[in-house]
Amino acid sequence: MRDVFIEKVYEKMRKNSMIFFLSADLGSPALDKLRNDFKDRFINVGIAEQNLINVATGLALEGYAVYAYGIAPFVTMRAYEQIRQNLSISSQIKPVNVNIIGVGAGLSYDVSGPSHHCLEDISIMKLLPNFMVFSPSDWKLAEYFVDYSINIKMPKYLRFDGRPLPLIYEKINDAIFKKGFHELLKGKKVCLVSTGFMTHRALKVAKELQGIGVIDVFMLKPLNENLLFKALKKYKYIITIEEGFINNGGLDSLISKILRNHRSGIRVKNMGFNDKHVFEVGDRDYLHRLNNLDENSIIKIIKEWTKQ
Amino acid sequence: MSNKLIKLLKERAWWVRKETIKIHGISPDTRLASSLSDVEIFTALYYGKILKYSPKDSQWEKRDRFIISKPHGAISLYPILADLGFLNKRELKRVGENGSLLGGIPDTTIPGFETINGALGHGLGVACGMALALKKKKSKSKVFVLSGDGELFEGAVWEAIMFASHHKLNNLILIVDNNKISMLDYCKNTIDLIPLEKKFQTFKWQVRTADGHNIQEVYDSLRELKEEGGDYPKVLIANTVKGKGVPQLENDALCHIRSLKQGEVINAIKNLGKV
């Protein structure tokens, strides 16, 4: 999804001279063309995420739309204070259009281990006032976001998967996009609510267990909670699944808050990573199996939970 | 520099120092010692018109940008901004009060402050982005940054120092208020920054040093740094005294967090004497 996104940004940069693209020494095939053709507006700041955000802020304060590109856990957590002070606090008074692109959501960098896993970013980025948090599940959504990223002058966090993902959204339009979520499958009693990579897992589960719904939440902030509740309230059981620590401010907290605020009696189960980093070595599917996030485990848990 | 200008700047610096102590009397949680070491720097920049600014339009496109990376030490800028018309002078009498504009650490709600600082070590990096943007826009405006010497302990500052020289940001001028004390101790006892000039020179910066309380030296150095050519970013290391003008602060390693009592405030103003 990042390459499609970068290709679209490239097209925008051809027409719009007020765009900068900064990277903290991270590349991608699509970026090679961009950095070659826009030598004066592409800057590799080096392995320096703090300076990445600071320089991006300075450019944005002078009116530029800026992309700040790096590895998801580092660009968010290494530079969190720069993000808080120069983007979140600052933009309440003077809007700054900085689009942080974090590549490697969840366990994208599976074999690289816990330093490269990113299970905290949804919670910590959603926490910041004046921020938009976007977590696309396919490249079509990512591509659609490019216009927003230029036109909406506020700081944003774009949470991208590190691996190519299959297409989900055959057709996308403003009506779908502006809602911030989409009911991909309508079900009867049970609904899976997910974001990013885990939406693909949810769709596979739904294929096995006929009759369950799938809601993909791609805009985690801001989110029209009333609209989402309208979609949720048809169900008796909601299961949130995410590649993140659960019960700590992630997607699960967002859904629980909506249900609580509407005094709903809907039952909720949260699936994700418990309060432990993942040291086991293996690919994403293997690590998901160890943490009951694989298809079979999810199916089993849903069956047991909704039996009565 | 004319004798008339020297006289004016000396008089203004004396007034700024007095007003700063008065503000501290109103709001004792303000950082007085830090705000006294940079009085001559602010005075030269604003009253010496080294900075291009417009009090009526603080966002004037042609202004020089001034990022105050040690904003706790910018209480002394409040009287200047009020005197020049950025702010209503009445604000000086209610610093820190409920609902007032001016707090202990200035922010961008106050006309004349470009960026949010407070957490240290961010200003120079943000300034690099601005300097880059101004070059891209072919603007003649410069970017000035004021930072403390203790602030140089922050690693992100060195990311920016390397970035600025690599990208030849010769429109960037850093002023280090080298007052030699951070919060808990003398910097030399914490992490010795000496030789500071050589550190910057090694990173390809153009370096000047001045007595930060000699208004003529400060003015001349800043003027020359602003006007001289060269490919690289510039730094003025202004050797200053933390708490300058208030004897009980000047010799106290813990002066950063010292608040003067009411009687001490009155005495401190009296001890300033005449210009």
CB contact under 8 A, B129 and A93: no
What is the C-alpha to C-alpha distance for residues A8 and A141, in angstroms, rounded to an integer?
12
* CB-based contact, A130 to chain B, within 8 Å: no
> What is the dihedral angle through the alpha carbons of B46, B51, B53, B55, rounded to the nearest 10 degrees?
-10
DSSP conformation class of A288: H
Whole-complex ipTM: 0.97
Residues A189 and A243 in one domain: yes
Average pLDDT, chain A: 97
Chain A contact set for B130 (CB, 8 A): 58-59, 61-62
Domain limit, last residue, from A160, A191, A207? A160
Strands (E), chain A: 19-23, 42-44, 65-71, 98-103, 132-134, 156-160, 181-185, 190-194, 213-217, 219-221, 237-245, 267-273
Residues A235 and A298 in one domain: yes
A198 in a domain, yes or no? yes
Q: In Å, how far are A6, A23, A132, A219, B89 from A135, measured between CA atoms?
A: 16, 20, 10, 6, 48
A225 in a domain, yes or no? yes
Q: Which amino acid is at B90?
A: R
Residues A188 and A269 in one domain: yes
* CB-based contact, A64 to chain B, within 8 Å: yes
**Domain, as residue range, for B208:** 3-271
Q: What is the CATH number of the domain that holds B15?
A: 3.40.50.970
Number of structural domains found in chain B = 1
Domain limit, last residue, from A128, A160, A192? A160
Question: What is the per-residue pLDDT across A13-29, written as a single tens digit (0 to 9) for each?
Answer: 999 999 999 999 999 99
CB contact under 8 A, A93 and B109: yes
Residues A130 and A252 in one domain: no
Of A54, A96, A100, give the one whose Cα is nearest residue A74: A100
C-beta atoms surrounding A141 within 10 Å: 24
Backbone angles phi, psi at A272, to 5 degrees: 175, -150
Backbone angles phi, psi at A193, to 5 degrees: -115, 125
Q: What would the mean pLDDT of A40-48 be, rounded to a whole number? A: 98
A71 in a domain, yes or no? yes
Backbone angles phi, psi at B198, to 5 degrees: -65, -35
Q: A308 falls in which pLDDT band (50, 70, 90)?
A: low
What is the C-alpha to C-alpha distance for residues A182 and A200, in angstroms, rounded to an integer?
13
CA distance B191 to chain A (A): 22
Please spell the DSSP secondary structure of A231-246, one letter per residue.
HHTT-SEEEEEEEEET
Instruction: Check the CA dihedral A44-A45-A50-A51 and report its sign.
Output: negative
Q: Which residue from A minimizes the CA distance to B124?
A: A54
* CB-based contact, B70 to chain A, within 8 Å: no
* CB-based contact, A59 to chain B, within 8 Å: yes
Structure tokens, A269: 């189960």
Structure tokens, A52: 């990445």
Residues A53 and A150 in one domain: yes
Structure tokens, B45: 């920049």
Residues A292 and A178 in one domain: yes
**Mutation site, A18, A43, A53, A54, interface B, largest B CB count within 10 A:** A54
Chain B contact set for A40 (CB, 8 A): 136
* CB-based contact, A50 to chain B, within 8 Å: yes
State yes or no: pLDDT of B274 exceeds 90. Answer: no
Chain B contact set for A84 (CB, 8 A): 119
A88 in a domain, yes or no? yes
The predicted structure's pLDDT at residue B230: 96
CA distance B47 to chain A (A): 26
CB contact under 8 A, B129 and A55: yes
Question: What is the per-residue pLDDT across B25-56, written as a single tens digit (0 to 9) for each?
Answer: 999 999 999 999 999 999 999 999 999 999 99
**Cis-peptide into A114, omega within 30 deg:** no
Question: What is the per-residue pLDDT across A129-185, written as a single tens digit (0 to 9) for each?
Answer: 999 999 999 999 999 999 999 999 999 999 999 999 999 999 999 999 999 999 999
Residues A186 and A294 in one domain: yes
Chain B contact set for A81 (CB, 8 A): 119, 122
Q: Which residue from B minimizes the CA distance to A82?
A: B122
A93 in a domain, yes or no? yes
Number of structural domains found in chain A = 2
Neighbour-count burial of A14, counting CB atoms closer than 10 A to its CB (0-12 exposed, 13-18 middle, 19+ buried): exposed
What is the C-alpha to C-alpha distance for residues B242 and B233, in angstroms, rounded to an integer?
26
* CB-based contact, A18 to chain B, within 8 Å: no
**Domain, as residue range, for A205:** 174-305
What is the C-alpha to C-alpha distance for residues A188 and A211, in angstroms, rounded to an integer?
6
Q: Which amino acid is at A168?
A: I
A167 in a domain, yes or no? no
CA angle, B163 then B167 then B172, to 5°: 80
C-beta atoms surrounding A87 within 10 Å: 27
* CB-based contact, A107 to chain B, within 8 Å: no
Residues A267 and A219 in one domain: yes
Residues A141 and A280 in one domain: no
Question: Which residues, numbered 97 to 126 in chain B, qualify as contacts with chain A under a Cβ-Cβ cut-off of 8 Å?
Answer: 107-109, 114-119, 122, 124-126
A294 in a domain, yes or no? yes
Residues A64 and A197 in one domain: no
For chain B, what is the largest distance between any 2 Cα atoms, rounded to a whole number of angstroms?
A: 53
Domain limit, last residue, from A117, A137, A160? A160
Q: B273 falls in which pLDDT band (50, 70, 90)?
A: confident
Q: Which residue from A minimizes the CA distance to B62?
A: A62
CB contact under 8 A, A54 and B126: yes
State yes or no: pLDDT of B133 exceeds 70. Answer: yes
For the entire predicted model, the pTM comes to: 0.97
Residues A234 and A266 in one domain: yes
Residues A29 and A154 in one domain: yes
Task: Identify which of A43, A54, A93 has the shortest CB distance to residue B156.
Answer: A54
The predicted structure's pLDDT at residue A307: 86
CA angle, B163 then B164 then B166, to 5°: 65
